[in-house]
Amino acid sequence: MNKTFNLLLIEDDQVDRMSFQRYLKKTTLLYKVDEYALGKPCIESFEEGKYDIVFLDYNLPDINGMDVLDQLLKIDPYCSVVLMTGEGDELLAAKAIKSGAADYLPKKSLSEVVLKQCLENIEMRKAMKLAEQSNKAKTEFLSRMSHELRTPMNAILGFSQVLIHNPAQNLSDDQKESVEEILKAGKHLLSLIDEVLELSEIESREITLSLESIEVKLVLEEVLKLLKPLADQLGIQIQNDISGDKDFWVVGDRVRLKQVLMNLISNGIKYNREYGRVKIYGKNNFPNSVKIFVEDSGMGLSREMQSRIFTPFDRLGKENSEISGTGIGLTICKDLMDLMRGSIEVRSKEGEGTCMIIELPMGREEDSYGGGSLSDIGMDSDELSGYKKTGSHSLLYVEDNPANLRLMESKFSTREDISLLKASDAKTGIQLAQTHQPDLILMDINLPGIDGVHALKELKKMEETKNIPVIAISANAMTKDIDRALSEGFIHYLVKPIDMEQLLRVVKQELGS
């Protein structure tokens, strides 16, 4: 460690000061140290940011050491203060740490080794705290950027979906193709935003997992069903050997395991040879773990590329290829596997394909929640055609963005079974809800004046509106924002840009039609 420490020693006993200086010299660390024998003069001359660490004697003749600690932290809240006493006292140590001290040292245990360890530990904690603050700032910045990007994307994707799915538009084939290109590009941009945001959340440890025993076969069936169109389009054969009577149970988060498998298998499909193959198989390592293998017949990776495969934003030379991506999918997979107490590795040979291997703790069937498989959040065409008109329903949409209001109006204008009420601010929305008592409310979170969360609280206070289900809509896609909204009482949380099929599914579910 080459850092020069700026230290402050507040100690009235000259012998103790000399001992401290002697131990300090033996640490071989670089340092500058100022000394004070009394607390009050030190407080008067103390400046913010001047010292890295303050060593403070508890028993000073002019003022109590705890009072000095309090005053120093008021001047410099980020200063690291180590409280020292003649005798070890666990209660005093606990009180000091609770009051903001970085550490506690009994003088009788002081030595060059203890002193050096104390300095290095404090510096390490400061570095970790700085990294956490940096991560938090980055996450907040990305969250704001995500919100700003999602708001216009909502109009772009929303109106494109209306044009495509509304028969009354009578688009020509060329026009349909153009709109589909808009949708394709918009969804790709949205996926990039989501991946960058998710990586930031994972790095900041802002996601929570629900660990349970999972039957791999069921999750894999969902993934392969979703990826079949891509495999068929590229002529890739999928060989699933985790099927039939083969049981593979793991402990993990079902949604995150599905996400990891989706990424690995889709990579195997996209980066394959023409008419190639992707093989998925498993191995039970009784009694501790299960390995899942995703093997492709692609071009393989060099050793140098394998060493970079989990590096964020490194696409391994595919930056200019027609295959879209950010280069952070595998980074996210690795982080998710770490969070699930698992691992991921790559085995590859140039010209012979690549095998991605994930390993998770072994689970047991009797520990599973028995919830069945999770379906994709979207809504297919069969479900849409089953949306029956069984009566008149009223829907209130509270949104300050005019483009989003027009989008929703356009979407429901052809629905004779649903009448749409609109409000551009929370106050008007609350009044409309009280007067008309709609069957369902769609509430934007970021409203001028009263935000959506406070509007919901107002609705819950009134007899006429307290039982109306309210769905949150927001461009904030952070997990903490979603969790907060659901904990406040919103029944669903839809992230902008709104997937119209998902919206119709939720509306259908809540209106019971």
Model pLDDT, residue 205: 67
Question: What are the per-10-residue average pLDDT scores of the chain (513 residues)?
Answer: 81 89 84 89 86 89 91 87 80 85 84 81 77 72 72 82 78 86 81 76 71 88 90 94 80 89 93 92 89 94 89 71 72 90 92 93 67 34 34 84 82 81 89 90 89 92 92 85 90 87 87 71
d(CA 15, CA 26): 17
d(CA 340, CA 360): 7
CB 211 within 8 A of CB 251: yes
CB 49 within 8 A of CB 75: no
Model pLDDT, residue 187: 78
Buried b (16+ CB within 10 A) or exposed e, 185-201: ebeeebeebebbbbbbb
Q: Residue 187 belongs to what H/E stretch?
A: helix 173-203
Q: Is the pTM here over 0.85, yes or no?
A: no
181 alpha-carbon distance from chain centroid: 29
Q: 3-class DSSP state for residue 40?
A: helix
- Per-residue tokens: 96: 């000091």
d(CA 24, CA 4): 13
Buried b (16+ CB within 10 A) or exposed e, 225-249: eebeeebeeeebebebebeeeeebb
CB 464 within 8 A of CB 432: no
Q: Residue 145 belongs to what H/E stretch?
A: helix 112-165
CB 178 within 8 A of CB 240: no
Residues present in the chain in total = 513
d(CA 167, CA 51): 71
Question: Any idea which residue has 């909204």 for tokens?
Answer: 485
Q: 3-class DSSP state for residue 362?
A: strand
- Per-residue tokens: 433: 């809800």
- Residue 9's beta-bridge partner residues? 35, 55
CA 233, 239, 245 angle in degrees (round to 5)?
Answer: 135
CA 336, 342, 346 angle in degrees (round to 5)?
Answer: 85
Model pLDDT, residue 240: 93
Dihedral sign (CA 194, 195, 201, 204): negative
Model pLDDT, residue 325: 63
d(CA 457, CA 83): 47
- Per-residue tokens: 293: 């293998």
User: Is the omega angle on the peptide bond into residue 497 within 30 degrees of 0, that is, cis?
Assistant: yes
Question: Any idea which residue has 């963005």 for tokens?
Answer: 401
